Structure 1
Amino acid sequence: MKLSTILLSIMLGLSSSTMAQQKDVTIKLIETTDVHGSFFPYDFITRKPKSGSMARVYTLVEELRKKDGKDNVYLLDNGDILQGQPISYYYNYVAPEKTNIAASVLNYMGYDVATVGNHDIETGHMVYDKWFKELKFPILGANIIDTKTNKPYILPYYTIKKKNGIKVCVIGMLTPAIPNWLKESIWSGLRFEEMVSCAKRTMAEVKTKEKPDVIVGLFHSGWDGGIKTPEYDEDASKKVAKEVPGFDIVFFGHDHTPHSSIEKNIVGKDVICLDPANNAQRVAIATLTLRPKTVKGKRQYTVTKATGELVDVKELKADDAFIQHFQPEIDAVKAWSDQVIGRFENTIYTKDSYFGNSAFNDLILNLELEITKADIAFNAPLLFNASIKAGPITVADMFNLYKYENNLCTMRLTGKEIRKHLEMSYDLWCNTMKSPEDHLLLLSNTQNDAQRLGFKNFSFNFDSAAGIDYEVDVTKPDGQKVRILRMSNGEPFDENKWYTVAVNSYRANGGGELLTKGAGIPRDSLKSRIIWESPKDQRHYLMEEIKKAGVMNPQPNHNWKFIPETWTVPAAARDRKLLFGE
């Protein structure tokens, strides 16, 4: 072979090799968040087919892995996965010796990394510590600090390295508002740092030690709003995205509100911000194109294009292999949750709770009084529009009756604190009517917000009471609407007297701020006010009472009402039609 031919061949070989090295790489990062036990296209509570679910998410993920290459697809979960469906409760507490279903599902789907949600912490150390160990990939929480070591309790960040050569570092954080909702024994030995300062410190460490090509925030904290204190913001994802340079993507959750935006941070760089909301109805996908370059003999990548989107998976076909793999677990939980525990003679609805006394809410209140022998009980509707039909009542129905794994508590409160607690509740709940044509309820354009659903505020803070008779005058200003007439047994009500009050543990710990901001009790005094707390969750005791009764006929107590009724009754009918179409 001639020398010129050899040289040409070498040059062509070098050229093609260089071209291959310079080829752009496109990766997709997929986030799920606030799955809340929605693993399968079957609702164990209603015993009906369910839209969304991880079974449908898996269909999409597998399609993208085939299309784009497994090494170019990244799968991230953002917490609140351990509570929400009977199947979660079953593996948390009924069969804790088995691998938690939340670990089995995420492992099967091939997740790369995950973070922790507040409802995961709510399950208690025994559940979440075991779950951490069962996951076959890293679980992150940069701002979850071990009080003994002053270091993160779990990994603060993790760099994913796949065959494509790209280094994707994920920094995980959790809303620091945990102590506002959960008693200390649930998170003993931990503290939760403010997110912006934690992100700045962690970002500096990541850039120095990891030198990644892509930096992702995976935050179980809402966009903006929530509880704001001098120490922290509950929902700080927007703040972190804007104030902490370095993030290419901020995936977030917690607030159950779909979000897709591109934000400029303080140095003028675009940050993709995505939240697919809850119950595995959609996923967030960030698509990044990266260009390789060699610096000092090392390959590095620069992001040249970035887009974000929310992809609906509600009606995708569930993956057959996924369902088949988990069929034994599905069957076991169906058998457990379909057990009949009693019978109701009439159907009860949560929607009645917003307009006055309701059989649904009053059943819970009355059972709280029966269980605790308290003077007064508080409770709020925990589901927007649930019902339990007349007929046999099953274990599954109990998750409609009481959604969360709160414990039941009794507290010492003065009559004045009881009234002020209710004043704040009804201020969150009711409009101040200026004319008969006004709304009764405090409504807002929040229909797409899965937690508010048309209300301005969270309905799980709309406490009403049993044990007292009272009126709510919606023509009066905030703080002056509630007039307590008497105890329901006919005795006088005294604002200066101490009463025993039944509440759930969320409320007793300061959740919703009704006892702190409303009743005026200092947060550090709440613990001293608690007389008793149930060893098991409140749902367990409600179930035991229904079993004991056998047959129940729940009716409204008729112990309170909105006034003036010439205004409130027609306004309630209008608002009911607006919210529920009836």
Structure 2
Amino acid sequence: MKRVSVFFLCFFILTACVNTQEKEIKLKIVQTSDIHGNFYPHDFILQREATGSLARVYALVQKNREVYKDNLILLDNGDILQGQPTAYYYNYIDTVSPHVAAEMMNFMGYDAGNMGNHDVETGRTVFDRWAGDCHFPVLGANIIETASGNTHFKPYQVMERDGVKIVVLGMITPAIPVWLSENLWQGLRFDDMEDTARKWMKTIREKEKPDLIIGMFHAGQDALLMGGKYRENASIDVARNVPGFDIVLMGHDHARECKKVVNVEGDSVLVIDPASNGLVVSDIDVTLKLRNGKVVDKKIEGRLSDTKDYGISEDFMKHFTPQYGTIQDFVSKKIGRFTETISTRPAYFGSSAFIDLIHTLQLEISGAEISLAAPLSFDTEIKEGEVFVNDMFNLYKYENMLYTMKLSGKEVHDALEMSYDLWTNRMQSADDHLLLFREKRREGAADRASFKNFSFNFDSAAGIIYTVDVTKPAGEKVTIISMADGKPFDMNKIYTVALNSYRGNGGGELLTKGAGISQDDLKGRIINSTDKDLRYYLMQYIEQRKVITPHALGQWKFIPEKWTVPASKRDYEYLFGKTDK
């Protein structure tokens, strides 16, 4: 009898132990964002070694997969289809082969992707073809087909690893209509991120019952209202206001971030952003403790890991060698010659040969009276001598169309006032900065490290003669003296104005917030739009003329010069270091 009792006692203890068996699961989540065509460790625009790149990201992934195997989850947060000639070539020139971005991401074993605004800018034909070539879902919970009300892309992806259920919800900033022409996203709309997150969180929790919920948002963390109705960069708002997210992956703003925020229910949410170009990745360790198959504890730690520490993946480079050669041949085609070296650096301090070449082209193509343009690349140059296709990506970074619009003299003036308010400090002494800088440089892309505002919104004008008095307050800096031909400038007259499609659609809010034109009225102001991007016309312009002598038009300047000239020298060194130039 004693033996039976001992047997049953042992059996009971063993059963109890089995029934309360605990298991620890470790996951590794790696996020890339804003790769911008930086696939190879080579910059095809500047023809030099590139930092970051998918080739380096893959080396990191390969090393980590040795440890985590299938428990490594690889995610991309959008803006992969614009920025380097590699992406451009497979977007618009070779449209028959599988898209190289999709082939690379398939090769690397991505588990999910997300849409970014620069992916939308390639147009529906391109981004739908790319998404179709991807062997993983491209997400977009707030990208809605207007005809059906359904999502154009899958809203979320469900994954299971070692009994742990993971859901990734993907969204894009809804401010697309402020930047991009409707013909690029015809038939779609972009809903508010927070409203969308609330809707899908309910579905995810009730239907999927996941153990880990990840938000992957192509949006930054400094929320603002654009065009009077689109909430841009709302990632932190969603993380705080919509309970349920364990992790929020950010992108879009090219700013490194890794921190935890507390949501409205008091739960901690990791928010992380790897900036751009694959220099670093979001590197997240998730440890889950399971008891009887249920998660009873969760630990989430994140860091930004530098890809340079892992070298370049030989497997990646070997596999994509043929495409590398194709792109090198494409960008090496000669199209003309420049008699002078031009750089964006002088563009921040006055009339410059670089920006004025764009102004000249815009005026010539459109026949407009006035041109507005900004430096799209923060710090770049095209050297004197032979000019090649790769230089055109230097001269004009994105695939913007050229608009001709109707604006009153006052609207032109007020748009410039806002531009220079974003651009310049109000000098109150000769020792002050001329340019408007951040109090402290931030980590991330160089073009966004020092300036308080985005330099691609620093519009200058051609076709008019004007001064910018940096001692004056906002709204009183710009004085337009005359048209470039000496005729009077009239605040009440309607002028034809050449500008890129980003600006014409409301990008940077110079025409809406600055000039006072409502977002809905902008479309009616467009007289004409080119059918191809500005870079195409720049190439044609140079090919036809063969030899270009770039020069500054000298149609505007900062005053008072006794302050602004010395301040320009100081600020130049602050931005770019000392130089012999």
- What band does the TM-score fall into relative to the shorter chain? over 0.9
Tell me which amino acid in the other structure corresponds to 1:324: K
Alpha-carbon spacing, 1:507–1:228, altered in 2? closer, same or farther (3 Å) = closer
Q: Aligned ranges for residues 104-115 of structure 1 at < 5 Å?
A: 104-115=103-114
Instruction: Give 2:153's aligned residue.
Output: 154
Comparing 445-454 with 280-289, which one deviates more in the overlay? 445-454
Alpha-carbon spacing, 1:286–1:262, altered in 2? closer, same or farther (3 Å) = same
Structure 1 CA distance for aligned equivalents of residues 557 and 18 of structure 2: 79
Q: Deviations over 1:178-224 (max 9, x none)?
A: 11111111111111111111111110100000011110000001012
Asked whether the 8 Å contact 2:39–2:55 carries over to 1, the reply is yes
Asked whether the 8 Å contact 1:53–1:314 carries over to 2, the reply is no
Secondary structure of 2:308 counterpart: coil
Q: 1:42 and 2:42 equivalent?
A: yes
Instruction: Give 1:301's aligned residue.
Output: 295
Instruction: Give 2:429's aligned residue.
Output: 435
Structure 1 CA distance for aligned equivalents of residues 519 and 278 of structure 2: 35
Identify the match of residue 443 of structure 2 among 438, 448, 452: 448
Asked whether the 8 Å contact 2:178–2:227 carries over to 1, the reply is no
Shift of the alpha carbon at 1:128? Answer: 0.7
Instruction: Give 2:171's aligned residue.
Output: 173
Shift of the alpha carbon at 1:102? Answer: 1.2
Shift of the alpha carbon at 1:485? Answer: 1.2
Tell me which amino acid in the other structure corresponds to 1:42: H
Shift of the alpha carbon at 1:401? Answer: 0.3
Secondary structure of 2:376 counterpart: coil
Comparing 205-214 with 416-425, which one deviates more in the overlay? 416-425
Instruction: Give 1:266's aligned residue.
Output: 264
Asked whether the 8 Å contact 2:227–2:519 carries over to 1, the reply is no
Structure 1 CA distance for aligned equivalents of residues 441 and 448 of structure 2: 6
Shift of the alpha carbon at 1:225? Answer: 3.2
Q: 1:469 and 2:470 equivalent?
A: no
Identify the match of residue 372 of structure 1 among 356, 359, 366: 366
Structure 1 CA distance for aligned equivalents of residues 103 and 261 of structure 2: 36
Q: 1:97 and 2:91 equivalent?
A: no
Q: Deviations over 1:523-569 (max 9, x none)?
A: 21111111110101110001100111101111111111111111110
Structure 2 CA distance for aligned equivalents of residues 293 and 38 of structure 1: 44
Identify the match of residue 312 of structure 1 among 302, 306, 311: 306
Asked whether the 8 Å contact 2:468–2:477 carries over to 1, the reply is yes
Q: Deviations over 1:451-490 (max 9, x none)?
A: 4231111110100111111111111111111111111122
Tell me which amino acid in the other structure corresponds to 2:155: P
Runs of 4+ more than 3 Å apart: 2-19, 225-232
Instruction: Give 2:510's aligned residue.
Output: 514
Instruction: Give 2:555's aligned residue.
Output: 559
Secondary structure of 2:98 counterpart: coil
Alpha-carbon spacing, 1:71–1:511, altered in 2? closer, same or farther (3 Å) = same
Instruction: Give 2:190's aligned residue.
Output: 192
Instruction: Give 1:523's aligned residue.
Output: 519
Shift of the alpha carbon at 1:227? Answer: 3.9
Q: 1:73 and 2:75 equivalent?
A: no
Alpha-carbon spacing, 1:303–1:35, altered in 2? closer, same or farther (3 Å) = farther
Instruction: Give 1:334's aligned residue.
Output: 328
Could you tell me which runs of 5 or more consecutive residues in structure 2 were left unpaired when the two chains were aligned: none
Structure 2 CA distance for aligned equivalents of residues 94 and 66 of structure 1: 38
Structure 2 CA distance for aligned equivalents of residues 385 and 25 of structure 1: 46
Instruction: Give 1:581's aligned residue.
Output: 577
Alpha-carbon spacing, 1:100–1:392, altered in 2? closer, same or farther (3 Å) = same
Structure 2 CA distance for aligned equivalents of residues 228 and 340 of structure 1: 41
Structure 2 CA distance for aligned equivalents of residues 318 and 375 of structure 1: 50
Q: 1:29 and 2:26 equivalent?
A: no
Q: Deviations over 1:400-442 (max 9, x none)?
A: 1000110011111111111111111111111111111111111
Tell me which amino acid in the other structure corresponds to 2:465: D
Tell me which amino acid in the other structure corresponds to 2:202: A
Asked whether the 8 Å contact 1:471–1:560 carries over to 2, the reply is yes
Structure 2 CA distance for aligned equivalents of residues 53 and 302 of structure 1: 38
Structure 2 CA distance for aligned equivalents of residues 398 and 534 of structure 1: 18
Secondary structure of 1:75 counterpart: strand
Structure 2 CA distance for aligned equivalents of residues 314 and 521 of structure 1: 46
Structure 1 CA distance for aligned equivalents of residues 227 and 525 of structure 2: 23
Structure 2 CA distance for aligned equivalents of residues 232 and 263 of structure 1: 24
Asked whether the 8 Å contact 1:195–1:232 carries over to 2, the reply is no
Q: 1:201 and 2:191 equivalent?
A: no
Alpha-carbon spacing, 1:12–1:72, altered in 2? closer, same or farther (3 Å) = farther
Comparing 224-233 with 471-480, which one deviates more in the overlay? 224-233
Identify the match of residue 323 of structure 1 among 305, 317, 326: 317
Structure 2 CA distance for aligned equivalents of residues 519 and 302 of structure 1: 56
Q: TM-score, normalised by structure 2?
A: 0.96
Q: TM-score, normalised by structure 1?
A: 0.95
Structure 2 CA distance for aligned equivalents of residues 122 and 316 of structure 1: 32
Secondary structure of 2:544 counterpart: helix
Asked whether the 8 Å contact 1:284–1:308 carries over to 2, the reply is yes
Q: Deviations over 1:68-110 (max 9, x none)?
A: 2x22110110000011100000000011111111111111100
Asked whether the 8 Å contact 2:123–2:185 carries over to 1, the reply is yes
Instruction: Give 1:63's aligned residue.
Output: 63
Tell me which amino acid in the other structure corresponds to 1:222: G
**Aligned residues between the structures:** 574
Structure 2 CA distance for aligned equivalents of residues 91 and 65 of structure 1: 29
Q: 1:498 and 2:497 equivalent?
A: no
Alpha-carbon spacing, 1:230–1:499, altered in 2? closer, same or farther (3 Å) = closer
Q: Deviations over 1:302-354 (max 9, x none)?
A: 44311111101135311101100000001001100111111111111101100
Asked whether the 8 Å contact 1:272–1:286 carries over to 2, the reply is no
CA-atom RMSD in angstroms: 1.8
Structure 2 CA distance for aligned equivalents of residues 558 and 286 of structure 1: 52
Secondary structure of 2:468 counterpart: strand
Asked whether the 8 Å contact 1:226–1:233 carries over to 2, the reply is yes
Comparing 299-308 with 414-423, which one deviates more in the overlay? 299-308
Tell me which amino acid in the other structure corresponds to 2:536: H
Structure 2 CA distance for aligned equivalents of residues 111 and 550 of structure 1: 45
Asked whether the 8 Å contact 1:424–1:479 carries over to 2, the reply is yes
Asked whether the 8 Å contact 1:194–1:231 carries over to 2, the reply is no
Asked whether the 8 Å contact 1:51–1:315 carries over to 2, the reply is no
Shift of the alpha carbon at 1:446? Answer: 3.6
Comparing 182-191 with 396-405, which one deviates more in the overlay? 182-191
Structure 2 CA distance for aligned equivalents of residues 113 and 8 of structure 1: 50
Shift of the alpha carbon at 1:230? Answer: 5.8
Shift of the alpha carbon at 1:383? Answer: 1.0
Asked whether the 8 Å contact 1:180–1:509 carries over to 2, the reply is yes
Identify the match of residue 539 of structure 2 among 533, 543, 551: 543
Asked whether the 8 Å contact 1:35–1:280 carries over to 2, the reply is yes
Tell me which amino acid in the other structure corresponds to 1:52: G
Structure 2 CA distance for aligned equivalents of residues 126 and 533 of structure 1: 19
Structure 2 CA distance for aligned equivalents of residues 97 and 9 of structure 1: 69
Tell me which amino acid in the other structure corresponds to 1:55: A
Secondary structure of 1:59 counterpart: helix
Q: 1:382 and 2:376 equivalent?
A: yes
Asked whether the 8 Å contact 1:180–1:511 carries over to 2, the reply is yes
Secondary structure of 1:151 counterpart: coil
Tell me which amino acid in the other structure corresponds to 2:124: H
Secondary structure of 1:314 counterpart: helix
Q: 1:459 and 2:458 equivalent?
A: no
Structure 2 CA distance for aligned equivalents of residues 516 and 439 of structure 1: 28
Q: Deviations over 1:362-419 (max 9, x none)?
A: 1111111111121111100011110111111111111110001100111111111111
